[in-house]
Structure 1
Amino acid sequence: MTDKLIRAIAADGGIRAVGVITTDLTEEARRRHKLSYVATAALGRSMASGLLLASNMKKEGSRVNIHLKGDGPLGTILADAGVDGTVRGYVQNPQVELPPNDRGKLDVGRAVGHNGYLHVVRDLGYGQPYSSTVELVSGEVGEDVANYLVTSEQTPSALLVGVFVGAGGVTAAGGILLQIMPKAVRDQSLVKLLESRVSQLSGFTPLLLAGKSLRTILQELLGDLDLFIFPESQDVSFNCGCSFERVLGALKMLGSAELQDMIEKDEGAEAICQFCGEVYQANENQLNQLIADLRAE
């Protein structure tokens, strides 16, 4: 299945639903960062969550930044997603591996850590970004982001994200977000209904592995609640805005003395983008040009 995002409403506009498939982009992140199995699952869930949160933003250029910092061995996990369907991210300790949990699944909760914080920043494309921090609930990512939505944005939400990764790489990844809209938030029966239906699912990736499409999944969950799936779908992809020009700009900020030291010791400079793993090489002539620019300024 091609990576995509779809939107829907149900219950006379009282429920907002978004589904996303992120298999290919999660595999690209795994390959770029050389991620372990559990690191792939943690980052993949975070990137899918970021895309789901960004899906309700309106202004071009809007982005959501999800930052998890638990007491587990993976360290910091960061995902940055845009309303345009692009996402990127990284794991501080990408090669950490853990044995499966007692259910035989990747132990993302222990790898992230049960104690720590989830920090979310929403850049609306104008004014000051909105940020909020909540304590981790489980480290499983989906539960933590859902708790953020309820705690910080006062929006009753059910979020299910997952990644299935085997010896050959990522074969299924994505998620679904169901939210009670303000007009229906007092309808406790609707809230309980959503919670019940999501809790009965064994996970998101088993649905994809069974060959079900996003539309089929939403239809099975909400089809009896006057479901309307918007016909337009959105492509989503792993994309980083780094470039060699930005790297040169960052090197220039180091100053002439540091640049000269790089020339004398290394005959150039190497920079690696933390978000995508792209390696950039600046040779001696390029560093000398930066020094000349600094002196001219």
Structure 2
Amino acid sequence: MADQLIRATAAGGGIRVVGVITTKLTEVARQRHQLSYVATAALGRTMAAGLLLASSMKRPQSRVNIRVKGDGPLGGILVDAGLDGTVRGYVDNPAVELPPNAMGKLDVGTAVGRQGYVYVVRDIGYGYPYSSTVELVSGEIGEDITHYLATSEQTASALTLGVYVGSNGVEAAGGLLLQILPRAAEDLGMVTTLEQRLSSLTGFTPLLRANKTLPQIFEDLVGDMDLTILPESQLVRFHCPCSFDRMLSALKMLGEDELQDMIEKDNGAEATCHFCNEIYHTNSDHLAQLIADLQQDRQKANR
């Protein structure tokens, strides 16, 4: 099943429904970062959450950054997701592994930690980005993002996220977001109904592993509430815009002295992108050209 995001409405437009399948892109992240089982689940859930949050934005270049920082051994998680369906991310300590929790599942909550924060930045493509910080609820990501939506965006939401990692890699990943829009927010019965229906699910990844499609999952949840599935399905993927030229631009910011030191001591430089783990190598000729560019820029500024 292709990685994709599908949108729908229910209750006469009073409920917004978004589902995303992220199996393949989570596997790409697992391989790129050499993630442990629990680190794969933590990053996979956060990437799915990022795509779901970005799906409500309007401008094509809009993006959402999610930073999860807890007191657990995993350290921090950083995800960048866009309305265009691209997402990337990493964890501070990708090799951390923990025993299963009491339910026999990957113990993401302990890996992330229960004390800490979720920091969300929405960049709408112009002006100053909107940012908000809330405390962690459980470290399980889904509950923490739901708390963010209720607290910072004051939107009644129900969210489920899941990643299933087998012996050969990621077998299922994705998430589902139900939001009650302002026109229906005063209907407390609707809020309770949605919470009950979502909580009745045995999880999101079991549905995917049973070959349920997103439209079928939507039908099971709110098919009796005037469900309208929007015709466009959007492909989503792991993508990082880093490049050799961007790496050179970053090195240029170090200044002439630091670049000259790299030439003399290392005869070049190596840089690794945190988001995708791509490694870039540059030789002394590249660094010398950067120094020449800096000198030329200084001469122009002094004219």
What pairs up with 1:14-93 in 2 under 5 angstroms? 14-93=14-93
Distance 1:127 1:253 in 2: 25
Secondary structure of the residue aligned to 2:231 is coil
AA matched with 1:91: V
Instruction: Give a deviation string over 1:261-283, Cα, whole Å, max 9, x none.
Output: 11111111000000000110111
Instruction: Give a deviation string over 1:80-139, Cα, whole Å, max 9, x none.
Output: 100000000000000000000000000000000011000000001111100000000000
AA matched with 2:109: G
**Structure 1 residue 37: deviation in Å?**
0.3
- The corresponding residue for 1:186 is 186
Distance 2:65 2:231 in 1: 28
**Structure 1 residue 166: deviation in Å?**
1.3
**Structure 1 residue 241: deviation in Å?**
1.0
- The corresponding residue for 1:100 is 100
- The corresponding residue for 1:13 is 13
Secondary structure of the residue aligned to 1:230 is strand
2:129 aligned with 1:129:
yes
- The corresponding residue for 2:235 is 235
Structure 2 stretches lacking a partner, 5+ long? 298-303
**Structure 1 residue 66: deviation in Å?**
0.5
Distance 1:106 1:46 in 2: 15
Secondary structure of the residue aligned to 2:206 is helix
What pairs up with 1:155-234 in 2 under 5 angstroms? 155-234=155-234
AA matched with 1:45: R
Distance 1:122 1:204 in 2: 26
AA matched with 2:108: V
RMSD, aligned CA: 0.6
**Structure 1 residue 260: deviation in Å?**
1.1
Distance 1:126 1:253 in 2: 25
- The corresponding residue for 2:258 is 258
**Structure 1 residue 292: deviation in Å?**
1.1
**Structure 1 residue 293: deviation in Å?**
1.1
**Structure 1 residue 149: deviation in Å?**
0.4
Stretches of 4+ aligned residues off by more than 6 angstroms: none
Distance 2:150 2:262 in 1: 50
Distance 2:239 2:106 in 1: 26
Secondary structure of the residue aligned to 1:275 is coil
- The corresponding residue for 1:271 is 271
Instruction: Give a deviation string over 1:14-48, Cα, whole Å, max 9, x none.
Output: 10000000000000000000000000000000000
Distance 1:251 1:127 in 2: 28
Q: What TM-score does the superposition give when structure 2 sets the normalisation length?
A: 0.97
AA matched with 2:289: Q
Distance 2:203 2:65 in 1: 24
Secondary structure of the residue aligned to 1:149 is helix
- The corresponding residue for 1:139 is 139
**Structure 1 residue 257: deviation in Å?**
1.1
Secondary structure of the residue aligned to 2:232 is coil
Percentage of pairs with the same residue: 69
**Structure 1 residue 202: deviation in Å?**
1.4
2:289 aligned with 1:289:
yes
